[in-house]
Amino acid sequence: MKSKTFLAGAGASALLVGLLIKIMARRRAAVFLKAAAQGDHSLTALITGASSGIGAEYARQLAARGYQLILVGRRLKRLQEVGSHLSEQYGVGVEILCADLSSLEGIDLVERRIIEHGAIDFLVNNAGFGLPRVFAQAPIDQVVGMINCHNLASVRFTRAAINGMLQRNFGAIVNVSSTAAYLRIPGDITYIATKAYLNVFSESLHLELLGTNVRVQALCPGYTMTEFHDRPEYAALGTRERIPAWLFMDAFTVVNASLNDLAIDKVICIPGVGYRLLAWSGRSGLLNTAIRLLLPLTEKIPASFRPGSLNAREATPPESPLSDSGA
């Protein structure tokens, strides 16, 4: 009886402490995100991939906090819809930048705008896509386009914005990564590698920023209900239908977790206990060892994702100009 009462008391106290920590983190988030709103300086956020999903939700949550917005993406009409809705609802200024970040021209355009603006306070490097093909069959221009969009763009935009942030001693950079960064699985290895790069980049930059009020975070969501899995390459595989609905989080919860973790200067944010566990088991090596051992045995994985499934006939030849010249 006594031990039951003790356990119930301990459980209730742990819940109470957890709740208090959450409330304090939320308060600190609000203070941090509004810290530079002094005098005439209005805060500006630049968000890539703001036409849908997680990026559109960052735009909404930052507009609700009074940020002026610069929204980047390829679909002009969708960006205009998001922008006009937010400027009506929250009374913030919205600028639209149409750019394909898989291309160097698109990256140049956005980088120039960041430098010319000179006072971006919140940068969200969120634009991204998947390429669910084994590496030997993935079109090389799409592989390079992904490296450009996920990594080159994020690094160049961070570099263009960071010195202004350091001068004002205020700013935040969020690199939208993925829980997949912790997994070593076949089927979209460039996605995994580019997201792992964002984690390492953010964790190391965090150390260089210690002692300043400029913060960096790698947000590592698990499955999130957005348009990501509706894109043709996933729709063709029926990916959304195959993933149980309960594994999907909503974009509001994911972005809310990111902003709360920024307040406590947490560099890696993984929303959801289940996904934190998954990342931990990937990081520890346990899960990836199990995957390596079990993968050749399972029939449930689509044939094209299984190791050894690719024979010489199926392999896509390299699309290099050197191969024409016989070099």
258 is a site residue for ligand NAP (CB under 6 A): no
Q: How far is CA 165 from the centre of its chain?
A: 21
Distance CA 295, CA 25 (A): 41
Distance CA 101, CA 50 (A): 13
Q: Which residues within the stretch 213-242 sit at the binding site for ligand NAP (CB under 6 A)?
A: 221, 223-224, 226-228
Q: Which is nearer to ligand NAP, 208 or 230 (CB)?
A: 230
One DSSP character per residue, 158-222 reads HHHHHHHHHHHT-EEEEEE--GGGG---TT-HHHHHHHHHHHHHHHHHHHHTTTSSEEEEEE---
- Which part of the chain contacts ligand NAP (CB under 6 A), choosing from 88-96, 123-131, 157-165, 296-304? 123-131
- Say how many C-beta atoms besides its own lie within 10 A of residue 19's C-beta: 10
Active site residues per annotation: 191
Q: Which is nearer to ligand NAP, 55 or 132 (CB)?
A: 55
Least distance CB 239 / ligand NAP (angstroms) = 10
Q: Which is nearer to ligand NAP, 122 or 223 (CB)?
A: 223
Least distance CB 130 / ligand NAP (angstroms) = 7
Q: Tell me, by CB under 6 A, how many residues bind ligand NAP.
A: 27
One DSSP character per residue, 10-43 reads HHHHHHHHHHHHHHHHHHHHHHHHHTT--TT---
Contact 110, 157 (CB under 8 A): yes
Among 120, 127, 138, 259, binds ligand NAP (CB under 6 A): 127
Distance CA 56, CA 73 (A): 10
Among 81, 100, 111, 265, binds ligand NAP (CB under 6 A): 100
Q: Which is nearer to ligand NAP, 224 or 260 (CB)?
A: 224
Among 74, 85, 117, 240, binds ligand NAP (CB under 6 A): 74
Q: Which is nearer to ligand NAP, 171 or 222 (CB)?
A: 222
Phi, psi of 71 (to 5 degrees): -105, 130
Q: Which is nearer to ligand NAP, 147 or 295 (CB)?
A: 147
Strand partners, 173: 123, 216
176 is a site residue for ligand NAP (CB under 6 A): yes
Among 43, 63, 73, 259, binds ligand NAP (CB under 6 A): 73
270 is a site residue for ligand NAP (CB under 6 A): no
Strand partners, 104: none
Contact 170, 34 (CB under 8 A): no
- Which part of the chain contacts ligand NAP (CB under 6 A), choosing from 9-17, 44-52, 157-165, 272-280? 44-52
Least distance CB 44 / ligand NAP (angstroms) = 19
Distance CA 25, CA 78 (A): 33
Q: Which of 208, 209, 185, 207 is nearest to 195 (CA)?
A: 185
Enumerate binding residues for ligand NAP (CB under 6 A). Answer: 49-55, 73-75, 78, 100-102, 126-129, 149, 176, 178, 221, 223-224, 226-228
